[in-house]
Each structure stands twice: as C-alpha cells, then as structure tokens.
Structure 1
Amino acid sequence: MSTTALRPRLEVIVASTRPGRVGRLIADWFIGQAEQHNGFDVHVSDLAELNLPLLDEPNHPAQRRYTKQHTLDWSATIDAADAVVFVMPEYNHSFTAPLKNAIDFLSQEWRDKPAAFVSYGGLSAGTRAVVALRPVLSMLGMMAINAQVAVPTRMHVTPEKTFAGDAALDASAKAVLDELARLAPAFANLRAVK
C-alpha cells in the first residue's frame, strides 16, 4: 500500500482521447461510486489530458532508465497506485491505441497490482476490449479481477451526453470496488518484499 495514504490508492485511467468521447462521463460516474465506497484514495489519469507522445524513450521500460519528464511523471503516478481501474471503450474489437501506448511506457510499475475494467460501447458494452487487454496486463504481472462494469452506452448515455446509471451498474461498481479493496493490501505486501 502506498506509504502516503491511509487507504489504498486507486488509479482510474480514462482510456479514450477522442474528441466528443463519453469516456470521461462514464469515468466521472465511476469515480463518484469509488468516492462513495470510501475504501480508496481515488486518483484520475485522463489520457486525453496526460497527452503522452507515442513511446519516445530510448531505453527499454524494464530498465527504468527514463529520459523524459513525462515518463518520469507517469512512472511516479503508476508506482503510487495500489489498484488500477481502466475506463475503456471498444474500438474494432479491442482497446484504444493511447491506452496501449500508456501501458507500454512502463513495465515494473504495473507489477503486482490488481486491475479492473469499466468498459463501454455498443451492444457488447466494450467487453471484447477487456478480453484483448487481459493478456497484456497478465504479461506485466497485474491481476485482472473477474468483476467488471460493462456499460452499453445506448442504454446509459443520452444524446445530450448525460449519464443515467441504474441499480445493476451500481452493484457492478460496488463488486469491483469491494474486490479491489480486498486485494490491494495483499498485493502491497507482495510489492514490499521485493
């Protein structure tokens, strides 16, 4: 667990950078759920605001010999996290290029952290993107939990870009947060013995 917080730090990563996106709207709903849950200190990394360039480090990320300030800042952000939630759309049956880029900037910082998903999209609600991302996270040493939130946008996002949650989504969010809160201390202990 991060030493600066009494509660585990939850990093919520907003994966869409597209103008007109609904990702931040859905992320804001989930952030509200996480704050209401009260099990975490919630931090948000919006990739549209972070604006990482296409991977521009000369050294392999496993070496942690970063030369760019944006990478040092991103490394510190993920290092401080005790659990990660990816708020992500589905693009062509997969996850977004900016998310893959943000993940690939780092290596060791992701290890031994539980991860969860708030996916969104059409009828599949982004679930195929989650299926594509799971092996990437596994390779980095993260544990992607089974509980997830899947938001079919036609049912929950109005044409005016407002979000309408419901009891089922709230219950899914609670299940995700409960599981992350249960696992975060155990994974913090794993990281502490290295």
Structure 2
Amino acid sequence: MPSSTDRPLQIAVVIGSTREGRFAPVVTQWLTGHLDRRDDMKADVVDLAETPLPTVLPAFGEPPAPGVEEALAQVSPRLEAADAFVFVTPEYNHSFPASLKNAIDWHNTQWHGKPIAFVSYGGLSGGLRAVEQLRVVMAELNATTIRNTVSFHNAWGRFGADGTVDDPAVNKAADALLDQLAWWAHALRDAKSVRPYAA
C-alpha cells in the first residue's frame, strides 16, 4: 500500500457557477483533461449546480435546519478528503459567484492548511477580479492560494467545438499552475503528517 507521500494528490475541482447556460463546464472539462494526463493527481469535480447547498446559514451556535446535513454530506466529505483545490470561477459584477461564497462559508476546517489554485474566465478581465477577492477570503480560512493562475479573457471565443484550446501558451500555463499546486500540496500534506495543522 502506498504511503501518504506516494499516493496521488486528491484535487477537488470546485465549479463555482450555477447559472443556467453557464460556460463553466467547458472550462472544467479542459482543466480535467490536463489533470487526467498526470500520474500525481486525481480529480474530483465538485459541481455546485449538482450538489446545491442551502443559502441560509444557521446563527452562531445554532444547529443546521432539517435537511441541511443531507445536502452537506454530498460536498463536505469530498472537500475534507482533498489535498488541494482548483476553483473554476467566472466574474460577476467584479466579484465571484454567490454560490461559491455560500459553499465556502458552509465549511471551515476543510480548507485549513491546503493550497488553492484558480482558473477564471470572463470578458476583458478574464475573471481576475474574482480571483483577487477569493485570495482575501481564503486567507481568512487558513488556506494557501498559489501565485499562478489561468484566466480566459473573452472566454467564449477561446475554445474549439471539441472543448480544446488551440493556444500553446495557455496550455503551458495550465501545466505550470498544476506543477505549482502539486508542490504546495505535497509540502503541506507532508508537513501535516509530521505536525497536525492547528488554526
């Protein structure tokens, strides 16, 4: 049986958009294509449209409303099991989707001591303003956001009919992003095996 340092990294790919007609599945399929070509990573796509969470959080100290635990059971264990994350996010009104913020806020320790990468898309900004705000939010949750990102400016014209991107620079950027994510994921996982993370 492989040791914790040998087993592939479990990467939770969180699709942040739940809007009807969303472009996120196209971007996610392209990303998972890169992940599938790696022996050191295994992707688990957490689609918030398929695993909706309640939009009203309980008051501090209060138990969740009936039915909430069943909804969380579709998402929380998968985030807990992840060694690292990639958030696939559009930009809505200079920020990221409410569905993604809701999923973040329903969780806490699942993010601690883990690295997060971002793949964003949008119009002229390519979703980068959403990424900058996510960095601030995730720092509060004791996560490490990596420097490298992949952003698709005017994303709807960047993908072919088969979902591929015919741009060597973008594909090279994806590989660099995943390389950096792997470094941080291994470093943090190894550190936690010696000393458990304490927020």
Give the structure-2-normalised TM-score.
Answer: 0.85
Tell me the SS of whatever aligns to 1:95.
coil
1:101-125 per-residue CA deviation (whole Å, 9 max, x = no partner) reads 0000010110000100000000111
8 Å CA contact 2:115, 2:185 repeated in 1: yes
SS at match of 2:54: coil
Give the aligned partner of residue 16 of structure 1. 17
1:156 partnered with 2:158: yes
Partner of 1:49: 50
Q: For the residues of structure 2 that align with 1:189 and 1:99, how far apart are their CA atoms?
A: 28
Answer whether contact 1:22 1:161 (CA < 8 A) is retained: no
Deviation at 1:127, TM superposition (A): 0.4
Q: Aligned partners of 1:115, 1:169: CA distance in 2, in Å? A: 19
**SS of 1:50's equivalent?**
coil
Percent identity reads: 37
Contact kept, 8 Å, 2:116 with 2:143, in 1: the verdict is yes
Tell me, yes or no, if the aligned pair for 1:57 and 1:68 is still in contact at 8 Å. Answer: no
Contact persistence 1:26–1:163 (CA under 8 A) = no
- Equivalent residues in 2 for 1:63-78 (5 A)? 68-78=69-79
SS of corresponding position for 2:93: coil
Q: Map 1:1-194; keep pairs closer than 5 Å.
A: 6-57=7-58, 68-152=69-153, 153-157=155-159, 162-192=163-193, 193-194=195-196
Q: Structure 1 136/60 Cα, relative in aligned 2: closer, same or farther at 3 Å? A: farther
How many pairs does the alignment contain?
187
**Counterpart amino acid of 2:43?**
V
| Cα distance, 1:48 vs structure 2 | 0.7
Q: Distance in 2 between matches of 1:180 and 1:13?
A: 15
1:53 deviation in Å? 1.7
Q: Distance in 1 between matches of 2:122 and 2:39?
A: 28
CA distance in 2, matches of 1:114, 1:26: 20
The SS at the match of 1:6 is: coil
Contact 2:115 2:181 (8 Å CA) reproduced? yes
- Judged with a 3 Å threshold, the aligned counterparts in structure 2 of structure 1 residues 190 and 67 are, in CA distance, closer, same or farther, namely farther
In 2: Cα distance, 1:20 partner to 1:163 partner: 19
Larger radius of gyration: 2
SS of 1:145's partner is strand
TM-fit CA distance, 1:157: 3.9
Which piece of structure 1 moves more, 66-75 or 166-175? 66-75
Give, in whole Å, the separation in 1 of the partners of 2:61 and 2:47.
24
**Which 5+ residue runs of structure 2 have no aligned equivalent?**
none
